[in-house]
Structure 1
């Protein structure tokens, strides 16, 4: 009990002394526990939801998904715009390595605000998995999916609470741009079979995500090298997190596209086709057609 009390005292001291004063009073920023509680509820739904749905019919949520994906696409577009204005095109802002500006400068506060929206979007995106559960799409709920969705809200709560802005602009803006494409894909997919012809680029989404993680990894490494004043601990955290995502997404890409194509290659090269042709030649299909033709001629 004493150890727990000491830990809580350290937590209170850190959140008081090291916090970004500009975020005081912002929604969900006073304490990490509401975010932690939300993630715990999410994990309970992920664990027990499929079991509760096992004997129930899947929900048909196409209209809900169209609205949901459209709104998240718009939110991602808004964040990309805000990051571009408050960081990428901002005079004097270092794109290579930028320390956090804790002043009340309007552009610095604007960057901090869009960082908060990025954090909040990660809470909204927990609904991705809830919809999978309700639609009984259990194959979509992989370890990678749950790992990503459950860790991002807590990590970005800490980012906004202590370092709202600065070097964090890069990963957040790149991820927001990728999510514009991702939720556009989900939107088209939710609109029904008529949109399937426009979904040929699914495979490239994983490639784009991998490029994203490598870009953040390289940019963060360079930032550590430059040592511009952005906290080293957060940069190391970014670095470690990107490595884990590169490993997991690379494995997903290999299993989904490379390994899968290797397994399906024999079918394309003739094993199933030959079997079918043998069946035709041995009479399972051809003899029936032939007999039908003979009967027609006899008649």
Structure 2
């Protein structure tokens, strides 16, 4: 009876902490959206619901997405995840250290090129909001798309290492959606307007994959700036949402960039809160 009582107390505290964590995350997200919406309403009155409905029900957009090679890639990726987890659940975990070193530093190096080519192409276009093709961007966009396919291996490595907790919704959503939208940009929209968020994302990935490369190179002494990476990613999506919203309001951008940017901003803020702010608060208690 005493053990049961202690267990109830323990699990009760854990449930309470989870509830508090989720409520705090909701409040954080609400504050971000509220502040951002207040800023936008200073620019122009915006009733978001009709635009959101129009974006979701756009037949042309979805037909285009379904025709992309990456749509099939994403389907295979999503279907294979539970199968691979089930297949490896009874296997021993793999180290993969040499492979991870090569993979991460390779992705970091490719991101250097895609960042430089994106910003140079945007500079050639003369405007961060230009929605006309710049042919010099096409190869950089192609390489960016290929790199997003290579980065799907991140998920395979996680599964083979049996780090199943890292298979979060954020991880799967981010990796699969970037494959889809990068091909969309390469085939249909080699625009400076797309090059700006693509270039910023590439800069982030230079540091991100360099960090994980260093972790694989010396697991006992990983770099100490992992938290800064998440902060950089959040800043990336704040810039991206601002850019896509201004582009939508004044330069004819489609609304999907705004939706996607907000979704990524929310997910990364949620991750940041749970990974860093909650742990710090519990440590102080």
Query: How does the TM-score come out when normalised to structure 1?
Result: 0.70
User: How many Å separate the matches in 2 of 1:41 and 1:232?
Assistant: 30
Q: CA RMSD in A?
A: 2.2
Closer/same/farther in 2, CA of residues 193 and 158 from structure 1, 3 Å limit: closer
Closer/same/farther in 2, CA of residues 224 and 30 from structure 1, 3 Å limit: closer
CA-to-aligned-CA distance 1:132-158 (integer Å, 9 cap, x gap):
000111111111101111111122222
Conservation of the 8 A alpha-carbon contact between 2:121 and 2:137: yes
Segments of 4+ in structure 1 off by > 4 A? none
User: How many Å separate the matches in 2 of 1:123 and 1:137?
Assistant: 21
Query: Which 10-residue stretch deviates more, 181-190 or 34-43?
Result: 34-43
Check if 1:119 corresponds to 2:145. Answer: yes
For 1:205, the equivalent position in structure 2 comes to 229
Closer/same/farther in 2, CA of residues 52 and 30 from structure 1, 3 Å limit: closer
1:66-85 to 2 correspondence within 5 Å? 66-85=101-120
Q: Which residues of structure 2 form unaligned runs of 5+?
A: 1-58
For 1:93, the equivalent position in structure 2 comes to 126
User: How many Å separate the matches in 2 of 1:85 and 1:71?
Assistant: 22
For 1:55, the equivalent position in structure 2 comes to 90
Conservation of the 8 A alpha-carbon contact between 2:105 and 2:209: yes
User: How many Å separate the matches in 1 of 2:119 and 2:218?
Assistant: 33
2:91 partner SS: coil
Q: Which residue of the other structure, out of 239, 253, 277, is the alignment partner of 1:232?
A: 253
Query: Which 10-residue stretch deviates more, 250-259 or 155-164?
Result: 155-164
Higher helix fraction: Structure 1 or Structure 2? 2
Check if 1:248 corresponds to 2:271. Answer: no
Conservation of the 8 A alpha-carbon contact between 1:70 and 1:187: yes
Please report how far the alpha carbon of residue 31 of structure 1 lies from its aligned counterpart in structure 2 after TM superposition: 4.6
User: How many Å separate the matches in 2 of 1:191 and 1:153?
Assistant: 27
2:283 partner SS: helix
Please report how far the alpha carbon of residue 182 of structure 1 lies from its aligned counterpart in structure 2 after TM superposition: 0.1
Please report how far the alpha carbon of residue 252 of structure 1 lies from its aligned counterpart in structure 2 after TM superposition: 0.6
User: How many Å separate the matches in 1 of 2:266 and 2:131?
Assistant: 29
Conservation of the 8 A alpha-carbon contact between 1:83 and 1:111: yes
Check if 1:261 corresponds to 2:280. Answer: yes
User: How many Å separate the matches in 2 of 1:84 and 1:159?
Assistant: 15
Q: Which residue of the other structure, out of 181, 203, 210, is the alignment partner of 2:207?
A: 181
1:193 partner SS: coil
Q: Which residues of structure 1 form unaligned runs of 5+?
A: 1-9, 16-28, 102-107, 267-299
For 1:18, the equivalent position in structure 2 comes to none
User: How many Å separate the matches in 1 of 2:150 and 2:178?
Assistant: 11
Conservation of the 8 A alpha-carbon contact between 2:234 and 2:265: yes
User: How many Å separate the matches in 1 of 2:204 and 2:118?
Assistant: 14
1:232 partner SS: coil
User: How many Å separate the matches in 2 of 1:247 and 1:172?
Assistant: 19
User: How many Å separate the matches in 1 of 2:181 and 2:120?
Assistant: 24
User: How many Å separate the matches in 2 of 1:220 and 1:30?
Assistant: 23
User: How many Å separate the matches in 1 of 2:66 and 2:110?
Assistant: 24
Please report how far the alpha carbon of residue 37 of structure 1 lies from its aligned counterpart in structure 2 after TM superposition: 2.2
User: How many Å separate the matches in 2 of 1:37 and 1:226?
Assistant: 34
2:269 partner SS: helix
Query: How does the TM-score come out when normalised to structure 2?
Result: 0.74
